[in-house]
Structure 1
Amino acid sequence: MPGKSLDRNGALKDVKVLDLSNFLAAPMASMFLADFGADVLKVERPVHGDEIRMWGESKEGVGLYYKVLNRGKKSITLDLRTPLGVEAVKKLVADVDVVVENYRTGTLEKWGLGYDVLAQINPGLIMVRITGFGQTGPYSGRPGFGTLAEAYAGYAQISGYPDGAPLLPGFGLADSTTGLMAAYLTMVALHEKRLTGRGQVVDLGIYETLLTLIGPNVINYDQLGIVQKRNGSRLPFTAPRNTYQTRDGRWVALAGSAQSTFVHLCETLGIPEVANDPRFIDNRKRLQNVAALDEEIGKAVAKFALSDLLERSSALQSTIAPVNDVAQIFEDPHIKSRENICAVYDAELDTVLNMQNVVGKLSSSPGAVRHPGPRLGQHNREILVDRLGYAAADLAQAGIALDEPEAGAQSASH
Structure 2
Amino acid sequence: MADALSGIRVLDAATLFAGPLAATMLADYGAEVIKIEHPNGDPVRGHGAQRDGVGLWWKMLGRGKQAMTLYLGSPEGQEIFRRMVADADVVIENFRPGTLERWGLGYEELRRINPGIVLARVTGFGQTGPYAKRPGFGTLAEAMSGFAAITGEPDGPPTLPPFGLADGIAALATSFAVLTALRAREHTGSGQVVDLAIIEPILTLLGPQIIAYDQLGVLQERTGNRSNNNAPRNTYRTRDGGWVAISTSAQSIAERVVRLVGRPDLAEQPWFASGAERAQHADELDEAVGSWIAERDRAEVIEAFEQAQAAIAPIYTAADIVQDPQYEALGTIATLPDDELGPVRMQNVLFRLSETPGQISSTGPPIGAHTEEVLARYDVTGAALDELRDKGVIR
Report TM bin, short chain: over 0.9
Write the distance in 2 (CA, Å) between the matches of 1:300 and 1:220: 36
Query: Do residues 207 (structure 1) and 226 (structure 2) align?
Result: no
Write the distance in 1 (CA, Å) between the matches of 2:158 and 2:379: 51
Q: Structure 2: give runs of 5+ residues left out of the alignment.
A: none
* Map of 1:34 onto structure 2: 27
1:238-317 equivalences in 2 (<5 Å): 238-317=230-309
Q: Which moved more, 1:332-341 or 1:266-275?
A: 266-275
What is the CA-CA distance between 1:282 and the residue it aligns to?
Answer: 2.1
* Map of 2:150 onto structure 1: 158
Indicate which of 31, 52, 75 corresponds to 1:60: 52
Q: Deviations over 1:138-157 (max 9, x none)?
A: 11111100011100111001
Amino acid at match of 1:357: N
State whether residues 12 and 36 of structure 2, in contact with CA within 8 Å, keep that contact through their aligned partners in structure 1. yes
State whether residues 84 and 398 of structure 1, in contact with CA within 8 Å, keep that contact through their aligned partners in structure 2. no
* Map of 1:196 onto structure 2: 188
Q: Which moved more, 1:37-46 or 1:239-248?
A: 239-248
Write the distance in 2 (CA, Å) between the matches of 1:281 and 1:19: 52
* Map of 1:346 onto structure 2: 338
Identity %: 46
Amino acid at match of 1:88: I
Q: How many aligned positions are there?
A: 393
What is the CA-CA distance between 1:261 and the residue it aligns to?
Answer: 1.4
Indicate which of 122, 126, 132 corresponds to 1:140: 132
Q: Deviations over 1:119-175 (max 9, x none)?
A: 100001100000000001111111100011100111001000111111100110000
Amino acid at match of 1:40: V
* Map of 2:89 onto structure 1: 97
Write the distance in 1 (CA, Å) between the matches of 2:184 and 2:110: 19
* Map of 2:389 onto structure 1: 396
State whether residues 85 and 113 of structure 2, in contact with CA within 8 Å, keep that contact through their aligned partners in structure 1. yes
SS of aligned partner of 2:200: helix
Query: Do residues 370 (structure 1) and 361 (structure 2) align?
Result: yes
Indicate which of 343, 347, 350 corresponds to 1:356: 347
Write the distance in 1 (CA, Å) between the matches of 2:185 and 2:372: 32
Query: Do residues 381 (structure 1) and 344 (structure 2) align?
Result: no
Amino acid at match of 1:173: L
Query: Do residues 116 (structure 1) and 108 (structure 2) align?
Result: yes
State whether residues 154 and 211 of structure 1, in contact with CA within 8 Å, keep that contact through their aligned partners in structure 2. yes
Amino acid at match of 2:331: E
* Map of 2:224 onto structure 1: 232
Write the distance in 2 (CA, Å) between the matches of 1:62 and 1:219: 46
Amino acid at match of 1:377: G
Amino acid at match of 1:145: F
Amino acid at match of 2:60: V
Task: Return the TM-score normalized by structure 1.
Answer: 0.92
Task: Return the TM-score normalized by structure 2.
Answer: 0.97
SS of aligned partner of 1:40: strand
Q: Deviations over 1:214-244 (max 9, x none)?
A: 1221111111111111110112223222111
What is the CA-CA distance between 1:194 and the residue it aligns to?
Answer: 1.1
Indicate which of 311, 322, 333 corresponds to 2:314: 322
What is the CA-CA distance between 1:400 and the residue it aligns to?
Answer: 4.6
State whether residues 236 and 287 of structure 1, in contact with CA within 8 Å, keep that contact through their aligned partners in structure 2. yes
State whether residues 91 and 388 of structure 1, in contact with CA within 8 Å, keep that contact through their aligned partners in structure 2. no
1:166-205 equivalences in 2 (<5 Å): 166-205=158-197
What is the CA-CA distance between 1:287 and the residue it aligns to?
Answer: 2.2
SS of aligned partner of 2:100: helix
Amino acid at match of 2:364: G
Q: Which moved more, 1:236-245 or 1:336-345?
A: 236-245
State whether residues 28 and 361 of structure 2, in contact with CA within 8 Å, keep that contact through their aligned partners in structure 1. yes
Write the distance in 2 (CA, Å) between the matches of 1:10 and 1:256: 40
Q: Structure 1: give runs of 5+ residues left out of the alignment.
A: 1-6, 405-414
Write the distance in 1 (CA, Å) between the matches of 2:106 and 2:303: 58
Amino acid at match of 1:138: P
Write the distance in 2 (CA, Å) between the matches of 1:238 and 1:122: 53
State whether residues 238 and 257 of structure 1, in contact with CA within 8 Å, keep that contact through their aligned partners in structure 2. yes
State whether residues 349 and 358 of structure 2, in contact with CA within 8 Å, keep that contact through their aligned partners in structure 1. yes
SS of aligned partner of 1:230: coil
Q: Deviations over 1:17-53 (max 9, x none)?
A: 011000000000000000000000010011x200000
What is the CA-CA distance between 1:269 and the residue it aligns to?
Answer: 2.8
Indicate which of 327, 331, 337 corresponds to 1:335: 327
Write the distance in 1 (CA, Å) between the matches of 2:209 and 2:334: 37
Amino acid at match of 1:379: H
* Map of 1:43 onto structure 2: 36
